[in-house]
Amino acid sequence: MFQKLEAVEARYEELNKLISDPEVISNQNEWKKLMKEHSSIEDIVAKYREYKATEHDYQEAKEMMNDPEMKDLAEEEMLSAKEKLPKLEEELKILLIPKDPNDDNNVICEIRSGAGRRRSCFICWNFI
């Protein structure tokens, strides 16, 4: 899982560079495609960076446990980070679930009234 997250983060950084490239900006179709990909992985990268920061805080707190003056503070910080890490892992697993390719498509849903009524209603949602 973490190898995939590293790859996603690397792609995100690559997309940041590409999006700011003047040649890509001049090609609107390519720029839109890259922006769409960028926004689709932005949440994953943000959550992964939060996970890494929490893990780093946990390791620092663990090292501070050796200092008698900082032991109480370190213990509190370590417990906080230890509680947060499994939650972040679960959120990352959910974020890594592949998206349905039909998520970007429009949907037309027909709702009919029941028991002999002749009216019908057409509803169209446009998910952006």
**DSSP label of 114:** S
How many structural domains are present in the chain?
1
Distance CA 47, CA 44 (A): 5
Predicted confidence (pLDDT) per residue in 82-115, tens digit: 889 889 989 888 888 877 777 767 777 777 666 6
CATH of the domain at 61: 1.20.58
Q: What is the mean pLDDT of the chain?
A: 82
Q: Establish if 126 belongs to a structural domain.
A: no
Q: Establish if 115 belongs to a structural domain.
A: no
**pLDDT for position 128:** 47
**pLDDT for position 45:** 92
Q: Establish if 114 belongs to a structural domain.
A: no
Does the structure show a pLDDT above 90 at 14? yes
- Beta strand pairing call for 120-125 and 107-112: antiparallel
Q: Establish if 109 belongs to a structural domain.
A: no
Helix (H/G/I), strand (E/B), else coil: 109: strand
Q: Establish if 113 belongs to a structural domain.
A: no
Q: Establish if 88 belongs to a structural domain.
A: yes
**Of 61, 19, 59, 60, which Cα lies nearest the Cα of 36?**
19
Does the structure show a pLDDT above 70 at 116? no
**Percent of the chain beyond pLDDT 90?**
22
Record the pTM.
Answer: 0.69
| 94 and 88 Cβ atoms separated by less than 8 Å | no
Q: Establish if 123 belongs to a structural domain.
A: no
Residue type, 106: N
Mean pLDDT over 17-41 rounds to 89
Question: Cβ neighbours of residue 88 under 8 Å, at least 6 residues apart?
Answer: 47, 50, 51, 54
Q: Establish if 125 belongs to a structural domain.
A: no
φ and ψ of 112, to 5 deg: -110, 145
